Chains A and B, each alone.
Chain A
Amino acid sequence: MGQLNFDAFQVIADASRREILHMLSKESLTINTIAANFDISRPAISKHIKILENSGFLTIEDRGRERYCLLSQDGFRQLRDWLDYYDHFWKQKLSALETLMNKNINGASTT
């Protein structure tokens, strides 16, 4: 199953998977309904759905005999976490750089 575990950025790098998410943002759909909207094979769609499920972008719910896909927030949160992480990272590093330069270049041409 290793190959089906992608991180958030890899997940949304694929156009079919983006399209599936787009469809699910309007309503919950069965796997069959989703597959009917694509030209690619049913197994290929199932694999995309599995990837989306594993990475937290959707959940699958059994309703009677049908399996419904629902959009889930976790995958999107991971994308945001990355940006937040780097935002904070650079702020910290720039502050460290300032401290370091002030220490190393003591009194040199400061205003």
Chain B
Amino acid sequence: MENQITHTWFFNHAPETVWDYLTKSELIAEWLMPNDFKLEIGHHFVFGAKPIRRFSFDGRIYCQVLDFKPQQMLRYSWRGGQGDKVSLDSIVTWTLKEEKGGTELTLLHTGFKGLKNYLPYLIMGKGWLKIAKRMLNKMELADGTVEF
């Protein structure tokens, strides 16, 4: 279990085409979610998703365009929660690379705040507590801080 999510996908289409699907509001809506995206650093936008009650998630994802390089990279913040209470504070980065007549698209979803030091606990199964203890001991040996 990592403190980030990453997926790489190959498309039989040129980077310009893939870029359009990442940055044109009406195209994004067709595969991701309804939105008011604009390709503009600093622009705030909202994705509308289905609420997930057990996560205290009201279905709205509040984003801001942080950075982009046309046809190469797009980065936005990704915050969700319940009303004003933000529980998920993370960043989504898309990277495009021209490859074999198509495009290799990489998604990186990072910065799940607060999670860093808790990965040992995320190891599940019957012996989870034993494993957590062992890993916590290692963390202590490493001066109590472990970067993932």
Chains A and B are bound partners: yes
Is there an interface contact between B17 and A105, defined as CB atoms closer than 8 Å?
A: yes
Q: If A76-B122, A90-B5, A100-B30 touch, does A10 touch B85 (CB 8 Å cutoff)?
A: yes
- Contact B100–A9 (Cβ < 8 Å): no
By size class, the interface of chain A is: 35 or more
B118 and A12 contacting across the interface, CB-CB below 8 Å: yes
Given that A7-B56, A7-B87, A9-B115 are known contacts, is A94 also in contact with B107, CB under 8 Å in the complex? yes
In the bound assembly, the distance between CA atoms of A87 and B136 in angstroms comes to: 26
Residues of A within 8 A of B12 (CB): 102, 109-111
Is the CB–CB distance between B136 and A25 below 8 Å? yes
Q: Which residues of A contact B18 (CB under 8 A)?
A: 101
**Complex contacts, A78 vs chain B, CB 8 Å:** 54-55
From DSSP, what is the main secondary structure of chain A's interface residues?
Answer: helix
Chain A residues contacting B32 (CB-CB under 8 Å) are 93, 96-97
CB distance from A58 to the nearest CB of B (A): 12
Q: Are the C-beta atoms of A101 and B11 separated by less than 8 Å?
A: yes
Interface residue tally on B, bucketed by range: 35 or more
- CB contacts (< 8 Å) of B136 on chain A: these are 22, 25-26
**In the complex, B73 has a CB within 8 A of chain A:** no
Q: Is the pair B121, A111 in contact by a Cβ cutoff of 8 Å?
A: no
Assess whether A77 is in contact with B124, with CB atoms less than 8 Å apart: yes
Give the Cβ gap from A87 to chain B, nearest Cβ, in Å: 5
CB pair B100 A98 closer than 8 Å: no
Q: Report the bound CA distance from A100 to B30 in whole Å.
A: 8
The 8 Å CB contact of A80, one of B9, B56, B87, B124, is: B124
A residues 1-60 touching B (CB-CB < 8 Å): 6-10, 12-13, 18, 21-22, 25-26
Partner of B88, one of A9, A25, A96, A108: A9
Contact of B65 with A by CB under 8 A: no
| Chain A residues within CB distance 8 Å of chain B | 6-10, 12-13, 18, 21-22, 25-26, 71, 73, 76-83, 85-87, 90-91, 93-94, 96-98, 100-102, 105, 108-111
Given contacts A9-B88, A12-B117, 4 further A-B contacts (CB under 8 A): A25-B129, A26-B133, A77-B124, A105-B13
